[in-house]
Each structure stands twice: as C-alpha cells, then as structure tokens.
Amino acid sequence: MRSETLIITETDGLLHVSDEENFGDGTSDHLEWFTKLDGTNNPVAGGSDVDSVTDRLTTSYEATFRKAGEPVIWETARITNAGVMHSSLHGKLPDGTPWSYHLVFERKK
C-alpha cells in the first residue's frame, strides 16, 4: 500500500464509505459501500479483491471483507482522542499468500 484516502459521509441515516487505495506496483482500487455499522452484510462496489463487507462499531471498528462469500480481509480500527485512526488489516491474496498492514489516518476537515 502506497497511500489510501478514506472519506466517510452520512447519507439518509447510512454511512457512505469511499476508499481510494494506491499500491506500490502502480495499481489502484476505488471501493464504495453504504453501512449502518450494525454487522449486516453490505455490497462493495469497485473492489477487485472484495465484493461485500460486514462491519460494525463497538469500542472499535471491525470489518470482514469477502469475495464470492469467502472472507479475505479482516480489519480492526480505533480512533484516538486526537482524531487519529489506527487501522490493522490482514488478509490473503488470491493465491493464498498472507499479508498485513498497519495504517494511520489523520482527520482532515
């Protein structure tokens, strides 16, 4: 992962998540989904590696991303009092190779 821009807005009582990911090999993904953060499965548009997400908010944000019904990415994120989000992700590539990232997001107004 070279960079990622995450934009979350509220629309009609749902959160709209727009996620632009840029990778070191020059490829990118643009993912979008709507969620209530209640643990229901939601379709993800635009992802080459995922097509749905189940996410919820308790004391942290937890998500499981799936491709064709199979879990492929797991995420846990926390936001500090200073508004910085730390996100830990791990998953597996289509060939089964495991990977993991720790991302830090700064809030922009």
CA–CA dist 65, 72 (Å, integer) = 6
Q: Which residues contact 26 (CB under 8 A, 6 or more apart)?
A: none
Provide the CA 25 distance to its chain's centre, in angstroms.
20
pTM confidence score? 0.84
The per-residue pLDDT string of the chain (109 residues; one tens digit each, 9 = 90 and over) reads 788 898 999 988 899 999 999 988 999 999 999 999 999 999 999 988 899 999 999 889 999 999 999 999 999 999 888 889 999 999 988 888 999 999 998 887 6
Range of the domain at 12: 3-106
Q: How many domains does the chain have?
A: 1
